[in-house]
Amino acid sequence: MIEFLNTHVFWWHWVVLGILLLGGEVVTGTFVLLGLGIAAVIVGGCDWLMAWPFTLELFVWALLSTVVIVALRRYWRERDVTISGQSRREMDVQGTVTETIAPPARGRVTFDVPVLGSREWAAQAEVRIETGVRVGIERIDGQLILVAPLNKGE
């Protein structure tokens, strides 16, 4: 079997495989096929220049795929996310006050994306915040969400 692959797999097979994998990445968006495709194109280029045996091509492809996928994931990972307390929830979520918050009473806020499973929450603030004002999360203490206006002048 290896003899067959050594004689029938050419450099352009790797390039075609790489292009197909890169095309598949457009559909999936996972970076896995992107890493596999980049590595296949590189192996095809190296095979064109140096005429490697298939087993070496396969080894280099596996190694390069792993390196490229890890590098892509590290480069595009989510950065600068603030977290609070035990909830470990991202606090970069914004919302709009739907019921005036007048300390010490709570008001209601509808967030742009769900926070701890819900988009609408009772919230407290250190200052009075009128209906319609955009707010951001300051702190989450268990089920209590403390918010502050995004524009401190409001």
Q: Which tens digits make up the pLDDT trace of 87-120?
A: 445 667 899 999 999 998 999 999 988 887 788 9
Residues 14-19: contacts with CB within 8 Å, 24+ apart? 14/40, 14/41, 14/43, 14/44, 14/47, 14/57, 14/61, 15/40, 15/41, 15/44, 15/45, 17/44, 18/42, 18/43, 18/44
At 11 the pLDDT is 83
Percentage of the chain surpassing pLDDT 70? Answer: 88
Q: How far is CA 136 from CA 69, 107, 110, 150, 153, in A?
A: 34, 14, 11, 6, 14
Give me the residues of the chain with pLDDT under 50, please. 84-88, 154
Residues 56-60: contacts with CB within 8 Å, 24+ apart? 57/9, 57/14
At 90 the pLDDT is 61
At 51 the pLDDT is 84
At 44 the pLDDT is 92
Q: How far is CA 8 from the centre of its chain?
A: 39
Domains in the chain: boundaries: 2-75, 85-149
Q: Which two tokens stand for residue 113?
A: 């994306």
Q: What are phi and psi of 126, to 5 degrees?
A: -85, -20
The superfamily (CATH) of domain 85-149 is: Nucleic acid-binding proteins (2.40.50.140)
At 86 the pLDDT is 42
Question: Angle 54-75/32-50 helices, nearest 10 degrees?
Answer: 140
